[in-house]
């Protein structure tokens, strides 16, 4: 199946999850995320501001702050096709919403890529070897390919988003591990469960 049709199928799957169930599944996924050694050991974490149908990482953001971690989110420039990590200190901050529905922080301090220990990224779908199917903008693929970024890469979503195989191109960058509401899947042997 080509990426376009697969995106449509996965988008329908996400929309079909009732709102209350989505909230419950998001909380479970956040609990799984914060229990990983990669989250526990990170000093600075990049999470994201979720779209309505995506797994909501708000609980993990709050927990990160409680543990004294620096938390940044992506400021996505559609014109430049790039992500700038921006430190935030509140989920009540001001955000702009673009045509795509992406929320970008209006204020905040850009963070150096080399300072980030863990990047938690959304997608429409993942397979069990870490390949991710994004929304088609390739923002995260370009971000992950930056040599300055040394962080562990985590795909975050619902169990319904795990599929048999994601079609890949040379530009696509897989994640090191996946976290859903049901499990944690380590894909990269260099990022093992106990580290």
State the CATH number of the domain containing residue 119: 3.40.50.10420
Q: Does 8 reside within a domain?
A: yes
- The lowest-confidence range among 74-78, 117-121, 174-178 is 74-78
Compare 67 and 108 and report the one with higher pLDDT.
Answer: 67
Q: pLDDT tens digits for 80-124? A: 668 899 999 888 766 666 655 667 777 778 999 999 999 999 999
Residue 194, pLDDT > 60, answer no
- How far apart are the C-alpha atoms of 97 and 156, rounded to whole Å? 21
Q: Does 52 reside within a domain?
A: yes
Q: Does 76 reside within a domain?
A: yes
Q: Contact at 8 Å (CB) between 158 and 14? A: yes
Of the candidates 137, 132, 107, 110, the one whose C-alpha atom is nearest the C-alpha of residue 121 is 132
Compare 76 and 5 and report the one with higher pLDDT.
Answer: 5
User: Looking at the DSSP assignment, which residues form a beta bridge with residue 74?
Assistant: 85
Q: Does 188 reside within a domain?
A: no
Q: How many CB atoms lie within 10 A of CB 195?
A: 11
List, as own/partner pairs, every contact residues 181-188 make where C-beta atoms lie below 8 angstroms and the sequence separation is at least 24, other chains included: 181/25, 181/26, 181/28, 181/29, 181/32, 181/55, 182/28, 182/32, 183/32, 183/159, 184/32, 184/35, 184/36, 185/128, 187/128, 187/129, 187/130, 188/130
Q: What is the pLDDT of residue 93?
A: 65
Q: Contact at 8 Å (CB) between 176 and 144? A: no
- How far apart are the C-alpha atoms of 118 and 150, rounded to whole Å? 9
- How far apart are the C-alpha atoms of 83 and 142, rounded to whole Å? 8
Q: Does 187 reside within a domain?
A: no
179: tokens are 């976290």
> How many folded domains does the chain comprise?
1
Of the candidates 105, 111, 94, 157, the one whose C-alpha atom is nearest the C-alpha of residue 130 is 157
Q: Does 185 reside within a domain?
A: no
pTM: 0.91
> Whole domain around residue 167: which residue ranges?
3-179
Angle between helices 19-34 and 58-66 (to 10 degrees): 30
Q: Does 190 reside within a domain?
A: no
Q: Does 191 reside within a domain?
A: no
For residues 40, 34, 58, 175, the Cα torsion angle rounded to the nearest 10 degrees is 90
Q: What letter does residue 172 receive in the DSSP assignment?
A: -
Compare 114 and 2 and report the one with higher pLDDT.
Answer: 114
Q: pLDDT tens digits for 11-64? A: 999 999 999 999 999 999 999 999 999 999 999 999 998 888 899 999 999 999
């Amino acid at each position: 199946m080509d990426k376009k049709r697969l995106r449509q199928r996965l988008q329908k799957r996400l929309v079909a999850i009732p709102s209350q169930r989505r909230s419950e599944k998001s909380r479970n996924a956040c609990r799984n995320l914060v229990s990983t050694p990669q989250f526990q050991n990170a000093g600075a974490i990049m999470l994201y501001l979720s779209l309505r149908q995506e797994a909501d990482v708000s609980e993990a953001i709050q927990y990160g702050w409680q543990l004294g971690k620096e938390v940044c989110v992506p400021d996505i420039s559609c014109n430049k096709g790039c992500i700038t990590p921006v430190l935030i200190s509140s989920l009540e901050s001001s955000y702009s919403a673009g045509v795509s529905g992406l929320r970008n922080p209006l204020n905040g301090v850009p963070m150096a890529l080399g300072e980030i220990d863990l990047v938690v990224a959304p997608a429409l779908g993942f397979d069990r070897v870490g390949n991710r199917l994004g929304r088609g903008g390739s923002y995260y693929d370009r971000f992950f390919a930056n040599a300055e970024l040394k962080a562990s890469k985590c795909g975050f979503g619902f169990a319904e988003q795990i599929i048999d195989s994601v079609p890949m191109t040379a530009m696509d960058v897989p994640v090191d591990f996946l976290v859903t509401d049901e499990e944690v899947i380590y894909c990269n042997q260099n990022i093992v469960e106990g580290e």
